[in-house]
């Protein structure tokens, strides 16, 4: 048996005091009586009350001593150690992602999980070497408290944790937890979450020793899972807004989607969402200046965090494209039709005079006298520093696969496309292979430094690709991908918890950021910095960054289908063949002070009965 409050044994000093009270002589009142014959018993008791006499047997004294001893034991909080035995390390991982804001638990899933974790802290076997680590998986995995047996520090760590608007980062937290328990066979990971955790396949072959404490009991939710702003194809002066709303309930739900621009209502639409389905929505709005569009789903449900989304939108500007070619009518027509605001120019070389004058440079089988520093699409040409190991040649490479999930290959297929010859390269670190042959990558896209690159390893005129409908679609996707305005729009729209990065053309002395809560916070900027970085984006909404004299508005939005699906999981899937079933927490240390308190109450009632029976 152990004691959580051993200092309470100081109260045992009251036990001798009870005995002293029985030894002290009681004060008697003197009375004159005619005879002492009837008062012999009274005289005997008077003699027994003399101080420092031999203590006689007295049931009341024994009952009072027993009562006091039981009360002292209750104050000392005795307990028996269970599973959290000697040397046991417990790693608590508290999910603080957006889905934990769901109110199907009172007051929220996060508060319910915190309460259960605090109860585990109370049961920690500190006197036998038990220790605990507290990890919080919010916008980032955070070690709130390293291994310790001090319960006050563990409580402070849990009570100081805050839920965020970010998607889940539990995989990152589990990597940290796995390193802590790897060489500790007596350790366990206790995960407090609703189970909405994708991407855990990497832990399938690892021995995690995980206990999954599931929170949540409902799934009444529908929310916005996609929000994008594009130029309206029918009217470039207006903006087309593409939304997707997911309904994870088993019945249809009806609500209204509202569209606002810088806080002013511009459109709304009544929608009925099919059960367990995703509904696309397209809205069209005017935009006279740069600003922030906000989409708001008005139906109340258990998770308000995904009922709103924001998108920072800048006015479309002409795309200045330079095509450097010996002559390629297919490519020229595809570039001219790639977007309504394309300004196309052609040349036979790219030199210093063109530097900085064009947004996108297309090199069609021509090695320029000076390589462009801006975004570039290179066709059948490459500088020596792009590909490790150099460039070779492969004849008639068959196309075996292509990455149709990449934005460049949206609605693009390479069926029946034949290539006469191509440059043989290995995939570089700066890019991802989009189209593959057995011997080489045929199309690569990525970013090298601040330059976006689309590389095509074969001459399009020496292939059947220009005769396919996928060719002009690919060129249109490439122009949008390489457009600096598109890259800037990608920088201005982030997920909560992701860092906002703004390239700097000149050094700045100071900077500040105003968050969605309206509070302005100063930012640290080094004089030689090439970009401004702000990481405190755990709250979704519009932000205003004042970097030097330049003011930039960016937005953070959840837009995560896994967080919107708030149905609590009975099992946690780790890869294809491993799962962890949800369990209830078992008390590691069982306290018994209540039983001693009840026993003390029983003794007190017995003492009361014996006293009245004796004096009746």
pLDDT exceeds 50 at position 195:
yes
Q: Report the candidate in 224, 223, 222, 242 with the shortest Cα–Cα distance to residue 232.
A: 242
Give burial (CB, 10 Å; 0-12/13-18/19+) of 375: buried
Q: How confident is the model at residue 608 (pLDDT cuts 50, 70, 90)?
A: low
3-state secondary structure of 571: strand
pLDDT digits (tens, 9 = 90+) for 240-272: 999 999 999 989 999 999 999 999 999 999 999
pLDDT at 28 over 60: no
pTM given for the model = 0.71
**Cβ–Cβ under 8 Å, residues 319 and 360:** yes
Is pLDDT at 372 greater than 50 in this prediction?
Answer: yes
Q: Of the ranges 94-108, 230-244, 381-395, 412-426, which one carries the lowest mean pLDDT score?
A: 230-244
Express each pLDDT in 110-160 by its tens digit.
999 999 999 989 878 665 668 999 999 988 889 999 999 999 999 999 999
Q: Please state the rounded mean pLDDT for residues 329-351.
A: 90
Looking at residue 263, what is its pLDDT? 92
More confident residue, 316 or 127: 316
Whether the per-residue pLDDT at 42 is higher than 70: the answer is no
Q: What is the pLDDT of residues 72-103, one digit of tens each?
A: 777 776 766 554 443 488 999 999 999 999 99
How far is 176 from 274, CA to CA, in rounded Å? 40
Is a pLDDT exceeding 70 seen at residue 398? yes
Min mean pLDDT across 167-176, 256-265, 421-430, 557-566 is at 167-176
Beta-sheet strands, E only, within 248-405: 253-261, 264-273, 277-286, 291-297, 308-313, 319-325, 342-347, 360-364, 375-379, 392-395, 401-402
- Give the pLDDT confidence score for residue 84 in this predicted structure: 40
Q: What is the pLDDT of residue 574?
A: 77
State residue 581's pLDDT score.
76
The residue that leads in pLDDT, 12 or 213, is: 213
More confident residue, 210 or 102: 102
Over 90: is that where the pLDDT of 417 sits? yes
* pLDDT tens digit sequence for 524-557: 888 888 889 999 999 999 999 999 888 999 999 9
Task: Among 77-86, 335-344, 442-451, name the one with the lowest average pLDDT.
Answer: 77-86
The yes-or-no verdict on residue 349 having pLDDT over 70 is yes
pLDDT class of 203 with cuts at 50, 70, 90: confident
pLDDT, residue 124, reads 80
Q: How high does pLDDT run on average in the chain?
A: 85
Mean local confidence (pLDDT), 587-595: 58
Question: What is residue 62's DSSP assignment?
Answer: H
Q: With a cut of 70, say whether residue 586 has pLDDT above it.
A: no
Angstrom CA distances, 17 to 50, 269, 433, 531, stand at: 17, 81, 86, 75
For residue 85, the model assigns a pLDDT of: 40
pLDDT value at 23 more than 70? no
pLDDT at residue 170, rounded to an integer: 85
CB 116, CB 215: distance < 8 Å: yes
What long-range pairs does 60-65 form, CB within 8 A, spacing at least 24? 60/607, 60/610, 60/611, 60/614, 61/18, 61/19, 61/22, 63/603, 63/606, 63/607, 63/610, 64/18, 64/607, 65/15, 65/18, 65/19
Could you tell me the end-to-end alpha-carbon distance of the chain, in angstroms, rounded to an integer?
42
Helices 59-75 and 593-615, packing angle to 10 deg: 160
3-state DSSP of 225-261? EEEEEEECCCCCCEEEEEEEEEECCCCCEEEEEEEEE
Q: Which carries the bigger pLDDT value, residue 496 or residue 2?
A: 496
With pLDDT > 90 as the criterion, what percentage of the chain qualifies?
Answer: 52
């Amino acid at each position: 048996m152990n004691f959580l409050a051993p200092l309470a044994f100081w109260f045992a000093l009251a036990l001798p005091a009870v005995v002293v009270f029985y030894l002290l002589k009681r004060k008697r009142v003197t009375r004159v009586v005619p005879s002492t014959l009837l008062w012999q018993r009274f005289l005997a008791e008077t003699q027994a009350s003399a101080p420092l006499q031999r203590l006689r047997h007295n049931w009341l004294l024994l009952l009072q001593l027993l009562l006091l001893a039981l009360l002292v034991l209750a104050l000392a909080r005795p307990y028996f150690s269970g599973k959290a035995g000697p040397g046991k390390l417990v790693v608590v991982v508290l999910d603080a992602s957006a889905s934990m804001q769901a109110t199907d638990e009172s007051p929220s899933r996060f508060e319910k999980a915190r309460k259960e974790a605090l109860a585990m802290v109370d049961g920690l076997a500190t006197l036998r070497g038990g220790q605990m680590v507290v990890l919080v998986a919010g916008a980032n995995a955070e070690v709130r408290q390293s291994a310790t047996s001090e319960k006050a520090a563990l409580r402070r760590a849990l009570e100081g944790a805050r839920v965020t608007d970010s998607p889940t980062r539990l995989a990152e937290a589990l990597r940290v937890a796995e390193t802590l328990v790897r060489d500790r066979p007596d350790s366990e990971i206790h995960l407090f979450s609703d189970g909405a955790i994708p991407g855990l396949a990497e832990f399938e072959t690892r021995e995690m020793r995980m206990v999954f404490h599931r929170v949540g009991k409902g799934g009444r939710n529908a929310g916005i899972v996609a929000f994008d702003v594009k130029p309206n194809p029918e009217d470039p002066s207006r903006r087309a807004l593409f939304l997707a709303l997911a309904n994870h309930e088993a019945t249809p739900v009806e609500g209204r989607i509202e569209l606002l621009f810088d806080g002013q209502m511009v459109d709304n639409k009544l929608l009925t969402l099919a059960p367990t389905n995703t509904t696309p929505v397209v809205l069209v709005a005017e935009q006279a200046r740069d600003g922030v569009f906000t989409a708001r789903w008005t139906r109340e449900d258990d998770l308000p965090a995904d009922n709103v989304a924001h998108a920072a939108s800048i006015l479309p500007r002409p795309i200045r494209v330079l095509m450097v070619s010996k002559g390629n009518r297919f490519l020229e027509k595809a570039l001219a039709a790639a977007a309504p605001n394309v300004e196309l120019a052609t040349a036979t070389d790219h030199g210093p005079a063109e530097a900085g004058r064009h947004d996108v440079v297309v090199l069609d089988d021509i090695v320029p006298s000076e390589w462009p520093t801006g975004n570039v699409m290179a066709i059948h040409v490459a500088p020596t520093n792009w590909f490790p190991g150099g460039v070779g040649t492969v004849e008639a490479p068959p196309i075996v696969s292509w990455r149709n999930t990449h934005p460049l290959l949206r609605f693009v297929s390479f069926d029946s496309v034949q290539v006469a010859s191509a440059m043989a390269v290995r995939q570089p670190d700066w890019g991802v292979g989009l189209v593959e042959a057995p011997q080489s990558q045929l199309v690569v896209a990525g970013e090298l430094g601040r330059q976006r690159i689309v590389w095509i390893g074969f001459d399009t005129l020496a292939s059947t690709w220009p005769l396919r409908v996928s060719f002009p679609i690919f060129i249109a996707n490439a122009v949008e991908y390489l457009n600096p305005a598109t890259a800037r729009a990608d920088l201005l729209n982030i997920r909560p918890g992701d860092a906002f990065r703004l390239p700097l053309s000149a050094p700045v002395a100071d900077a500040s950021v105003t968050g969605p809560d309206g509070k302005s916070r100063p930012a640290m900027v080094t004089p030689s910095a090439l970009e401004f970085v702000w990481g405190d984006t755990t709250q979704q909404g519009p932000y205003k960054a004042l970097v030097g004299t330049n003011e930039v508005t960016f937005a953070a939005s959840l837009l995560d289908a896994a967080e919107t699906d708030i149905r609590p999981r009975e099992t946690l899937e780790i890869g294809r063949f491993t799962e962890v079933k949800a369990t209830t927490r078992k008390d590691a240390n069982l306290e018994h002070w209540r039983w001693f308190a009840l026993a003390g109450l029983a003794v007190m009632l017995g003492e009361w009965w014996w006293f009245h029976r004796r004096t009746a």
